[in-house]
């Protein structure tokens, strides 16, 4: 590696802290720092990571035209502000090098250690996730993201810093890409920042998303807020002076007393949610009081309520009942001197740090050095929501159901209730005693027979309120009811109820699933289909271990019939036909038996003349009667198996695309004894002379073609029309016949007729 850059290149501006790191690292290399000092080793790591990223990104430009290195510098700067360790800051510099340069992840580990490698690798994998996708793909993306977070929560913090700087420079992209990234930010990354308690990132991500998703509304809100700012600040100054004086008289040391304007998106959201105009929104700003201890928080609350009249129902104690993201504060609503509501928040400095930095406060204010990883080991309740999502990943096969559980845990408000022992249990808003029971333990939920709330028996469908004391009554012979699914709120409860029902009614579900699939694909050959490798593959692609579990899921409704059929089509489509002798497996048939005339054909893997329908009931369509060597397509029918059509059949125009199955004729040279009885209707136009029909039949006999039916129409003075239904081996034989008949001197025209009557 070349020498460390000690001065800012002319085209970029380095933050002061980074310039200081570069200077000190240069001094260290000259022997001026104590050997083995951790502080200096951290400085060296940061300086070397910057230097490495600078060299790799040299010559690369962003859409804005500025050097690409400006982006890693900004990300590292955000991570430093969040209290990130040297490892996190180094990962901030390096988070794009694997994706955008020739450097490998192994080289990152060799140069900067395993911990930096893990963070860079995690962020690189997250960068490949595209949330604008189909339901199943989106669910899989969430699963991957939460697994990365479980290994090291710092991965998502680096990703949030990366996303925030990208949002700050989003104006340089095209309209469509701006909207896609902004929507993804609003729906995914802002809620994640909220769940991690990093409010300063959450607020800015929401406002920036708002700016690009609804630009007119954003500009309007900016204008409205700016017009009232001066008057609002004057009023808040008056309140601050009153409170500072009273807090001092109460001997409460106030570390800070300031106004906090609400961000634009939260004001806009409130206007939309409550159907109010801007002038009807009173709490455009809140006052924040920061004191030294928890005890002083409650004393300060008493002072506030003594100075101003409190608003009933507007007090929330998040100190006694912290939010799942560790947020703590006292919130109260009071009537300000000008007669309008005003929100006041009271907290300690530690609570304020957690409110601003969330999980990042774990490194910024709790650890010395802050280099240890944060994972799901131990009993830390702040990651309960993430732990539950990871547990449910193995339980939930349905993508939509999994996405709903993600939504419940990322985007919903919480209600806090108590066990009889006084333990606090956080639940989704509007949760019921059943949700509470399953939150305690699966068996408590499975044997729930009733519930007491605050000492009184209540219906199990009752919504719980903050502060309720819930006591679950269990009985051994009690079991879940499917009716519970109509009112339970949490994904945990829904999943456990469904799992119990599936286990206790598995045989019934298998029978029902078999019946549904058999009705769709036909009974003949159905058992062979269930035993086929293709159907086992379908089960595995649907996240089931075997076909039996797949049928149970189908019978229960966990997976739909269309989903099974679509996956089966995908499996069949991926099995390319075998075209050469070397590709034919040892047990593959060397001949194809005759097909019974005028009957449906039940194919098996050992006798199918058509690739793609092995083990299934199928039949040749009567509207076009395709023959070998012609392009064909399968159509899944209801209860009659698969109909094989010529690809040019006019009836395909009205078919639903999802019912089409890719199929091909088995043209293997091994099948030399193929049946030659495929019916084709032809019409011959000829001069009406004695013996012409006999001459045509003679040509057919020479070709070894059987005539199933014949009809001759004559009209004096006009050509004769001869309608024939013949049996051919394939398209090649039919074309040879046409060539031979056209050579006859009296033949005017010969053509194939689509419809063939049996």
pLDDT, one tens digit per residue, over 384-420 is 555 555 554 455 455 555 555 555 555 555 677 888 8
Give the span between the Cα atoms of 351 and 365, in whole angstroms.
11
Overall residue count recorded for the chain in this entry: 758
pLDDT digit string (tens) for 305-348? 999 999 888 888 989 888 766 789 999 988 888 877 888 999 99
Residue 235 sits in a domain whose CATH number is 3.30.460.10
What mean pLDDT is predicted for residues 422-434?
83
Q: Highest mean pLDDT range out of 236-240, 445-449, 667-671? A: 445-449
pLDDT(672) > 50? no
Read off φ and ψ for residue 718, nearest 5 degrees: -125, 160
Give Cα separations from 73 to 18, 26, 58, 77, 195 (angstroms): 9, 19, 13, 6, 26
* Statement to judge: residues 463 and 515 lie in one domain: no
Encoded tokens for 142: 């969430």
pLDDT digit string (tens) for 547-561? 888 888 888 777 888
Give a yes or no: residue 758 inside a domain: no
Catalytic entry in 100, 356, 404, 746: 100
DSSP assigned state of 500: H
Higher pLDDT, 497 or 371: 497
Tell me what pLDDT residue 206 has.
92
What mean pLDDT is predicted for residues 297-308?
93
Higher pLDDT, 270 or 433: 433
Give the span between the Cα atoms of 429 and 366, in whole angstroms.
31
What mean pLDDT is predicted for residues 205-213?
93
Encoded tokens for 140: 């899989």
Give the span between the Cα atoms of 23 and 680, in whole angstroms.
88
Encoded tokens for 47: 């300086």
Domain C-terminal end among 326, 341, 366: 366
3-state secondary structure of 17: helix
- pLDDT-derived band at 430 (thresholds 50, 70, 90) equals confident
- pLDDT-derived band at 370 (thresholds 50, 70, 90) equals very low
Give the span between the Cα atoms of 361 and 276, in whole angstroms.
36
* Statement to judge: residues 657 and 740 lie in one domain: no
Domain C-terminal end among 599, 630, 665: 665
Tell me what pLDDT residue 330 has.
94
- pLDDT-derived band at 359 (thresholds 50, 70, 90) equals low
The whole-chain average pLDDT of the chain stands at: 77
* Statement to judge: residues 331 and 252 lie in one domain: yes
Give the span between the Cα atoms of 50 and 679, in whole angstroms.
76
Give a yes or no: residue 174 inside a domain: yes
Give the span between the Cα atoms of 632 and 646, in whole angstroms.
5
* Statement to judge: residues 156 and 134 lie in one domain: yes
Higher pLDDT, 668 or 53: 53
DSSP H/E element including 554: helix 547-556
Give a yes or no: residue 237 inside a domain: yes
- pLDDT-derived band at 629 (thresholds 50, 70, 90) equals confident
730 an active-site residue? no
Q: Which is nearest to 357 in space by CA: 194, 198, 248, 231?
A: 198
* Statement to judge: residues 494 and 518 lie in one domain: no
pLDDT(593) > 50? no
* Statement to judge: residues 116 and 41 lie in one domain: yes
pLDDT(603) > 70? no
**Lowest-confidence pick of 101-105, 142-146, 504-508:** 142-146
Find the domain containing 685 and state its range.
678-753
Tell me the pTM.
Answer: 0.54
* Statement to judge: residues 640 and 682 lie in one domain: no
DSSP assigned state of 592: -
703-706, long-range: CB < 8 A, 24+ apart: 703/733, 703/736, 703/737, 703/740, 704/676, 705/676, 705/733, 705/737, 706/676, 706/677
* Statement to judge: residues 655 and 716 lie in one domain: no
3-state secondary structure of 623: coil
Tell me what pLDDT residue 474 has.
92
Tell me what pLDDT residue 284 has.
67
Give a yes or no: residue 401 inside a domain: yes
* Statement to judge: residues 160 and 207 lie in one domain: yes
Give a yes or no: residue 202 inside a domain: yes
Give a yes or no: residue 99 inside a domain: yes
Q: How many domains does the chain have?
A: 5
381 an active-site residue? no
Give the span between the Cα atoms of 280 and 79, in whole angstroms.
38
pLDDT(365) > 50? no
What mean pLDDT is predicted for residues 147-171?
82
* Statement to judge: residues 143 and 249 lie in one domain: no
Tell me what pLDDT residue 391 has.
52
pLDDT digit string (tens) for 250-265? 999 988 888 777 788 8
Catalytic entry in 58, 99, 233, 702: 99
Higher pLDDT, 322 or 213: 213
**Lowest-confidence pick of 118-127, 176-185, 523-532, 704-713:** 523-532
Encoded tokens for 255: 């570390």
pLDDT(717) > 50? yes
Give a yes or no: residue 177 inside a domain: yes
Give the span between the Cα atoms of 266 and 348, in whole angstroms.
24
Q: Quick check: 254 and 289 in contact, CB under 8 A?
A: yes
- Residue 483's contacts (CB-CB under 8 Å, 6 or more residues apart) are none
Domain C-terminal end among 502, 519, 552: 502
Higher pLDDT, 504 or 108: 108
Give Cα separations from 750 to 494, 622, 685, 730, 732 (angstroms): 67, 21, 6, 18, 16
Residue 619: how many CB atoms within 10 A of its CB? 18
* Statement to judge: residues 292 and 441 lie in one domain: no
3-state secondary structure of 424: strand
**Lowest-confidence pick of 19-33, 106-120, 299-313:** 19-33
What mean pLDDT is predicted for residues 169-178?
88
Tell me what pLDDT residue 459 has.
93
Give the span between the Cα atoms of 179 and 183, in whole angstroms.
6
- pLDDT-derived band at 573 (thresholds 50, 70, 90) equals low
Give a yes or no: residue 31 inside a domain: yes
* Statement to judge: residues 546 and 440 lie in one domain: no
């Amino acid at each position: 590696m070349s020498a460390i850059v000690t001065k800012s290149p002319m085209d970029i501006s380095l933050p002061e802290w980074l310039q200081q790191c570069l200077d000190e690292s240069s001094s260290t290399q000259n022997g001026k720092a104590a050997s083995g000092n951790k502080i200096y080793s951290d400085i060296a790591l940061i300086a070397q990571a910057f230097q490495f990223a600078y060299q790799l990104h040299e010559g690369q430009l962003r859409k804005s035209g500025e050097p690409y290195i400006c982006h890693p510098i900004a990300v590292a700067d955000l991570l430093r502000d969040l209290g990130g360790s040297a490892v996190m800051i180094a990962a901030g510099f390096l988070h794009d090098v694997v994706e955008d340069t020739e450097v490998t992840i192994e080289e990152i580990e060799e140069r900067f250690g395993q911990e930096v490698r893990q963070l860079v690798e995690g962020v690189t994998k997250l960068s490949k996730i595209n949330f604008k996708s189909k339901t199943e793909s989106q669910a899989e993306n969430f699963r991957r993201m939460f697994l990365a977070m479980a290994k090291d929560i710092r991965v998502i913090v680096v990703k949030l810093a990366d996303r925030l700087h990208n949002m700050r420079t989003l104006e340089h992209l095209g309209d469509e890409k701006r909207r896609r990234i902004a929507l993804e930010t609003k729906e995914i990354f802002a809620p994640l920042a909220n769940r991690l308690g990093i409010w300063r990132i959450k607020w800015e991500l929401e406002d920036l998303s708002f700016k690009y998703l609804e630009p007119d509304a954003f500009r309007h809100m900016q204008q409205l807020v700016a017009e009232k700012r001066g008057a609002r600040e004057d009023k808040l100054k008056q309140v601050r002076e009153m409170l500072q004086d009273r807090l001092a008289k109460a001997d409460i040391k106030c570390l800070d007393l300031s106004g906090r304007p609400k961000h634009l998106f939260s004001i806009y959201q409130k206007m939309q949610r409550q159907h109010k105009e801007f002038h009807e929104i009173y709490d455009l700003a809140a006052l924040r009081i920061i004191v030294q201890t928890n005890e002083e928080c409650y004393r300060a609350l008493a002072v506030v309520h003594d100075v101003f009249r409190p608003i009933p129902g507007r007090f929330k104690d998040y100190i006694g009942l912290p939010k799942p993201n560790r947020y703590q504060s006292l919130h109260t609503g009071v009537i300000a001197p000008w007669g309008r509501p005003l929100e006041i928040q009271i907290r300690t400095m530690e609570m304020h740090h957690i409110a601003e930095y969330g999980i990042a406060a774990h490194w910024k204010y709790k650890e010395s050095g802050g280099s240890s990883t944060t994972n799901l080991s131990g009993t830390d309740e702040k990651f309960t929501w993430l732990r539950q999502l990871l547990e449910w990943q193995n339980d939930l096969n349905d993508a939509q159901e999994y996405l709903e559980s993600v939504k419940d845990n990322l985007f919903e408000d919480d209600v806090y209730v108590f066990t009889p022992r006084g333990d606090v249990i956080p639940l989704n808003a509007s949760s019921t005693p059943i949700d509470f029971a399953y939150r305690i333990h699966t068996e408590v939920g499975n044997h729930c027979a009733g519930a007491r709330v605050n000492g009184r028996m209540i219906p199990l469908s009752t919504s719980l309120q903050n502060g309720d004391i819930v006591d679950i009554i269990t009985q051994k012979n009690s079991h879940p009811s499917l009716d519970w699914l109509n009112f339970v709120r949490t994904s945990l409860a829904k999943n456990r109820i469904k799992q119990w029902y599936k286990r206790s009614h598995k045989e019934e579900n298998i029978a029902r699933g078999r019946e549904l699939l058999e009705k769709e694909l036909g009974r003949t050959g159905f058992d062979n289909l269930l035993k086929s490798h293709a159907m086992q593959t379908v089960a595995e692609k649907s996240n089931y271990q075997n076909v039996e579990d797949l049928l149970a899921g189908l019978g229960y409704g966990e997976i739909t019939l269309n989903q099974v059929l679509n996956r089966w089509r995908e499996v069949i489509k991926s099995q390319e036909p075998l075209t050469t002798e070397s590709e034919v497996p040892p047990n593959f048939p060397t001949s194809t038996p005759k097909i019974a005339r005028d009957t449906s054909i039940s194919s098996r893997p050992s006798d199918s003349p058509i690739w793609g329908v092995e083990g299934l009931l199928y039949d040749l369509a009567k509207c076009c009667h395709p023959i070998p060597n012609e392009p064909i397509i399968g159509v899944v029918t209801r209860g009659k198996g698969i109909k094989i059509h010529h690809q040019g059949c006019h009836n395909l125009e009205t078919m639903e695309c999802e019912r089409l199955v890719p199929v091909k004729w088995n043209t293997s040279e091994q099948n030399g004894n193929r049946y030659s009885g495929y019916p084709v209707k032809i019409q011959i136009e000829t001069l009406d002379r004695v013996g012409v029909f006999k001459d045509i039949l003679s040509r057919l006999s020479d070709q070894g073609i059987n005539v199933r039916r014949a009809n001759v129409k004559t009209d004096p003075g006009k050509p004769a029309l001869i309608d024939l239904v013949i049996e051919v081996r394939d398209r090649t034989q039919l074309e040879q016949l046409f060539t031979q008949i056209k050579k006859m001197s009296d033949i005017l025209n010969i053509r194939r007729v689509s419809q063939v009557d049996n």
